[in-house]
Amino acid sequence: MDKIIVLDFGSQYSHLICRRIREFSVYAELVPYDISYEEIQKMNPKGVIFSGGPSSVYSDDAPNPENKIFEMNLPLLGICYGHQLIVNKFGGKVKRANKEYGSSVLTIDNDKDLLSDLGESLRAWMSHGDEAEEIPPGFKIIGHTEGAKAAAIASEEKKVFGIQFHPEVVHTELGTEILKNFVLKVCGAKQEWTMEGFIDSSVEKISKIEGNVLCGVSGGIDSTVAALLIHKAIGDRLKCVFVNNGLLRWNEEKEIEEMFKENFKVNFNSIDASQEFLSKLKGVEDPEDKRKIVGEEFVRVFTNFAESNGPFKWLAQGTLYPDVIESGVSKGPAAVIKSHHNVGGLPEWLDLEILEPLRELYKDEVRKIAKILGVPEKLLMRHPFPGPGLSVRIIGEVTDTKLMIAKKASKIVEEELMNGGIYEKVWQAYAAVGDDRAVGVVGDERRYGNIVMIRVVDSIDAMTADWTRLPHGILEKMSNRITNEIEDVTWVTYTISSKPPATIEPQ
């Protein structure tokens, strides 16, 4: 299968380059910037992309790839910091400039190859503090903005390109077309990456493992698809375990058990460990501590089940690529955003081997696999739910009152979205609660109650997200119902922060 290699220099957008390329059915893989020349040769890519990054090429600790990688005689595209690396390496000059962050108009000076069929200009997203002052010999400027005279450069002879802007973000018009021009026209990569092919190769690999597999299922799309893939490969050697951790949505434990027993022919087991989880979280306020406590307690429950119902060799989970990226255990230098209970939260004493068949996939790719495997539409369109459950939607200590508020308020948010025909059009929706309180008036009496934060976002892959512009009428219904139906709530707010700079979950 033809592939594109993306060297990760620490940009918050590195993963999106792979994501966009996979959209047009070419496999792209993110690798560390210091990967060896020999390793890349073994991977036999059709082209190489340098991501952006926070460093300056003149910094003492600036990340640099091996020199041989510049001389591989493969098409090369540098984005932002990657662009500056190319300028610097091939004999140009990079200078410190006024930081440019946001949308700029890119004027196209040469519409061949990388910038072909895009028109005369487009909106491009900039995020940089350095820029090319002098381009290298043999290169020419193919695009410029008002703030960057060499916003896009090319060496047609070497098939090396550099762009100062980020084509991988949605803010850049025709950004996917730019990547498509590089991957399909310049690199000549074949569009061979399909979810049908992924299923076949995954089943073949998993069928070769020895021993029984214990799979934690949450009722969400990720763990469900992971379980179905593994079951397709090894059949009855798989046992699925659903754990009620006390941090679920309203009545969720009953809905999940019914759904699995009605729709899937897997060995399904349910365990109520709610008291154990809630007691471990008592008095804990730090969100990272909560995530790790929940992760460790999940593994304790699974390990106890394994000892009584085993032997098992594997613990399977529905870990996705974004989980790996955000937990800082990916292949590149990305900073830790948060520990995911099934990635960064796994304890050292775990004595089961980990099986993560979806580890290299994005959420929308998992949804495509779910459709192929016949997952019911109701589950397919179910909103994502964090592994640590409501513990990360409750800011501060998890108390009985705040847990009740989070459950009831989130149920109201989902119901009103369904009533308005919007639920399936948004990525995620819930209500969060913290320790902040405000005065309200109920009847003729003043009441000092909790503040609820409604969060509804639009996204494609959870790596970036924008707050949803809900009709005011729906927001009004949500607010009225929450304050009328939940005695402890006096104020309702709507969160309008996008990701970045915020995250989708509050913690």
Residues 181-192: tens digit of each pLDDT: 999 999 999 999
Residue 101 sits in a domain whose CATH number is 3.40.50.880
Return the pLDDT at 435. Answer: 95
Return the pLDDT at 338. Answer: 41
Provide, rounded to the nearest whole percent, the portion of the chain with pLDDT above 70.
93
Residue 246 falls inside a structural domain: yes
Same-domain pairing of 169 and 58:
yes
Q: How far is CA 457 from the centre of its chain?
A: 14
Parallel/antiparallel/unpaired status of strands 160-163 and 213-216: unpaired
Whether the link from the prior residue into 500 is cis, omega within 30° of 0, is yes
pLDDT of 90 > 70? The answer is yes
Same-domain pairing of 174 and 218:
no
Q: How far apart are CA 388 and CA 84, in angstroms?
A: 41
Same-domain pairing of 36 and 115:
yes
**Helices 363-372/221-234 angle, 10° precision:** 50
Same-domain pairing of 111 and 144:
yes
Structure tokens at 353: 């081997």
Minimal CA–CA distance to 26: which of 242, 251, 179? 179
Provide, rounded to the nearest whole percent, the portion of the chain with pLDDT above 90.
66
Same-domain pairing of 122 and 205:
no
Q: How far apart are CA 487 and CA 449, in angstroms?
A: 8
What 3-state class would DSSP assign to 429? strand
Q: What is the pLDDT of residues 315-362, one digit of tens each?
A: 898 888 777 765 554 444 444 334 444 544 455 666 788 899 999 898
Same-domain pairing of 233 and 290:
yes
Q: What is the pLDDT of residues 447-502, one digit of tens each?
A: 889 999 999 999 877 778 899 999 999 999 999 999 999 989 999 999 999 998 89
Residue 387 falls inside a structural domain: no
The listed range with the strongest mean pLDDT (139-148, 185-194, 292-301) is 185-194
Q: Which residues of 101-137 are buried (b: 16+ CB within 10 A; e: fewer)?
A: eeebebebebeebbbeebeeebebbbbbebbbeebbe
Report the pLDDT averaged over residues 284-300: 91
Return the pLDDT at 98. Answer: 62
Q: How far apart are CA 485 and CA 452, in angstroms?
A: 13
Q: What is the pLDDT of residues 398-447, one digit of tens each?
A: 999 999 999 999 999 999 999 999 999 999 999 999 999 999 987 777 88
Residue 500 falls inside a structural domain: no
Report the pLDDT averaged over residues 272-285: 96
Q: Is the dihedral of CA 127, 151, 73, 114 positive or negative?
A: positive
Q: How confident is the model at residue 209 (pLDDT cuts 50, 70, 90)?
A: very high
Alpha helices in 51-174 (DSSP H): 67-70, 81-89
Report the pLDDT averaged over residues 172-198: 96
Q: How far apart are CA 343 and CA 315, in angstroms?
A: 12
Same-domain pairing of 252 and 120:
no
Return the pLDDT at 310. Answer: 78
- Residue 446: CB atoms within 10 Å: 10
- Residue 43: CB atoms within 10 Å: 12
Return the pLDDT at 414. Answer: 97
Same-domain pairing of 165 and 207:
no
Residue 222 sits in a domain whose CATH number is 3.40.50.620
Residue 504 falls inside a structural domain: no
Top pLDDT among 95 and 398 is at 398
End residue of a domain, out of 125, 153, 186:
186
Residue 460 sits in a domain whose CATH number is 3.30.300.10
Same-domain pairing of 288 and 431:
no
Same-domain pairing of 67 and 178:
yes
Residue 454 falls inside a structural domain: yes
Q: What is the pLDDT of residues 98-140, one digit of tens each?
A: 666 678 899 999 988 999 999 999 999 887 667 788 999 999 9
Return the pLDDT at 343. Answer: 47
Structure tokens at 329: 């255990």
Structure tokens at 361: 């996939």
pLDDT of 254 > 70? The answer is yes
Q: What is the extent of the structural domain holding 109?
A: 3-186
Name the average pLDDT for the chain: 89
Same-domain pairing of 406 and 365:
no
Based on the structure, what is the number of domains in the chain? Answer: 3
End residue of a domain, out of 131, 158, 186:
186
End residue of a domain, out of 161, 186, 211:
186
Same-domain pairing of 167 and 201:
no
Residue 54 falls inside a structural domain: yes
Return the pLDDT at 327. Answer: 55
Return the pLDDT at 423. Answer: 95
Residue 247 falls inside a structural domain: yes
Indicate the helix (H) or strand (E) that contains 176: helix 175-180
Give the 3-state secondary structure of 274-302.
HHHHHHHHCCCCCHHHHHHHHHHHHHHHH
Return the pLDDT at 215. Answer: 92
CB 492 within 8 A of CB 482: yes
Report the pLDDT averaged over residues 283-299: 92
CA distances from 24 to 20, 117, 120, 280 (A): 7, 17, 24, 46
Parallel/antiparallel/unpaired status of strands 93-108 and 76-79: unpaired
What are the DSSP E strand ranges found in 72-226? 76-79, 93-108, 121-134, 140-144, 152-155, 160-163, 213-216
Burial class of residue 297, CB neighbours in 10 A (0-12, 13-18, 19+): buried
Q: How far apart are CA 8 and CA 64, in angstroms?
A: 11
Structure tokens at 311: 């032997």
Residue 507 falls inside a structural domain: no
Minimal CA–CA distance to 387: which of 290, 499, 315, 267? 290
Return the pLDDT at 374. Answer: 87
Catalytically active residues are 80, 166, 168
Minimal CA–CA distance to 495: which of 431, 405, 402, 420? 431
